[in-house]
Amino acid sequence: MMTPHTTDTFADDKRDLLPVARLLYDVFKVPRYDGIDFLHWQYRLAPEGREISSNLMQDGACMAHYCLVPQIWGGNGKKLSFALALNTAVSEKARGKGVYTSLAEQTLTSAGNDHGIMAVVGVSNANATPGCTRRLAFRLVAPLPVRAGIAVPIRDNSVSCWSIEKGMVPREVLATLEELDYALSAKGWAREWTPERLAYRLRSPVAHYWLHYSETGLLVSTCDHFGPIPVAVLLRFFPRRDRTESNNIDIKSLIRSACLAAHSPFFLHAGFPGFDLGWVVNVPRRLLPSPLNLIYRPLNAQAPAAEDFSVAVFEFLDFDAY
C-alpha cells in the first residue's frame, strides 16, 4: 500500500534521504544522486531553510517525490519567501495514477499554509511544461534564452581565477564575496543573493566551479561537454559594489578567463543576465536537446500575480542545473 509521506515527519539526518536518492538515480541516472551527500547539501544545509517535500512510500522504497527548496526573492522594494521546485520524480511502477499531481498539490499547499512560502518558481523542460501549466496552475513566464559564443582563451592579468572543487571554498574567495553587489533590481524580480548564500551554493559536493574576479565584478563558471567538445558554461555574473552599471563590467575579460579554465574557445549562457552580453549568438530552440522554460505560481495574495511576474535576473546559478 502506498501512503503519502512528508519530510517533516523524518528525523533531521541523512538516512531518510537514501530512498529519495535511489529514486532520483533510478529515474534520471545522474551521478550526483548516487549517494546522499548531494541531497543532504541541497536539502538540509541551505541558509534559506530546509526542503519542503512529499514522498510516496511503499515497503521502505520511495515511489515518487516532489520537492521545493526555499529561496528569498526581491523586487519592487519587497523581499518575499519563494521556493524553487526541483527533483520531481515518479517511479515507473507508480506512473499513470495521478501521483505526480497529488504529491505536487500536497507539497504546494503545505508550503503556502505551513511554511510561509509566497510563490514558487521552477524550470521545466518543453515536455513537462504543459503538465505544470494545465494541472498545477503554473504560468509560463518565458522560455530561457540560450546564447553561445567564441572567445580567445587567454590569460588576463587583470582577472584572478580560483578553482572550487568538492565544496572547498578558499578563505580569499570568502573575502571576495563580501565585495560584490547583491542589490535587488527595480526592473523585475530576482533571487536575493548574499555572501552567505553564494558561499553555500559554491560548496556543492559534486560540482566543479571556477570563480573569475576582476576589479569590475565576478563570474562563476563551470565546464560541460557536448560530445567530445568542452564548453565553458557561464553560470552567474555579479558586479562589484562600485560597478553596478553594465557598461562598467568587463564582460569580455571574465568570459576569456572562463574559456581558459575550460580549455575551450566556446562558451554557453542561459537565462537573463540583466545586461547585454554583447558578442553572442542566440541558439534556436529547435537545436536545443531540452529547451527550458521558467514557470511561476503564486501561493497567496501577497505574492506578485502570475500575469505581473517578470524576472530581472535569472541565470544557471539561480536554479539547480549545475
Distance of CA 183 to the CA centre of its chain: 19
Residue ranges and CATH numbers for the domains of the chain are 3-143+290-318 (3.40.630.30), 146-286 (3.40.630)
Q: Which residues contact 119 (CB under 8 A, 6 or more apart)?
A: 73, 80, 82, 83, 296, 297, 298, 299, 303, 304, 309
User: What pLDDT is stored for residue 10 in this prediction?
Assistant: 42
Q: Where are the alpha helices (DSSP H) in 115-163?
A: 129-135
Residue 283's pLDDT band, with cuts at 50, 70 and 90, is confident
Enter the DSSP assignment of 141: E
DSSP 8-state symbol, 47: T
Q: Which SS3 state, helix, strand or coil, does residue 112 take? A: helix
Residue 150 has pLDDT above 90, yes or no: yes
> Taking the CB of residue 126, how many other CB atoms lie within 10 A of it?
13
Supply the DSSP symbol for 13: S
Residue 279, all three cell numbers = 558578442
Candidates 110, 73, 68; CA nearest to 87 is: 68
283: exposed, middle or buried (C-beta count within 10 Å: 0-12, 13-18, 19+)? middle
- pLDDT the model gives residue 89: 95
CA atoms within a 13 Å half-sphere pointing along the CA-CB vector of 88: 22
The CA distance from 235 to 95, in Å, is 34
3-state SS class at 218: strand
pLDDT per position as a tens digit, 27-48: 999 999 999 999 999 999 999 9
Q: Provide the mean pLDDT of the chain.
A: 91
Q: 51-74 pLDDT, tens per residue?
A: 999 999 999 999 999 999 999 999
Q: What is the C-alpha radius of gyration for the chain, rounded to an integer number of angstroms?
A: 20
C-alpha triplet 152, 158, 163: angle, nearest 5°: 75
Identify the band that residue 5 occupies on the pLDDT scale cut at 50, 70 and 90.
very low
Rounded to whole angstroms, how far apart are CA atoms 168 and 203? 6
pTM for this predicted structure: 0.92
What is the phi-psi region of residue 33: left when phi exceeds 0, alpha when psi lies from -120 to 50, beta otherwise? Answer: alpha
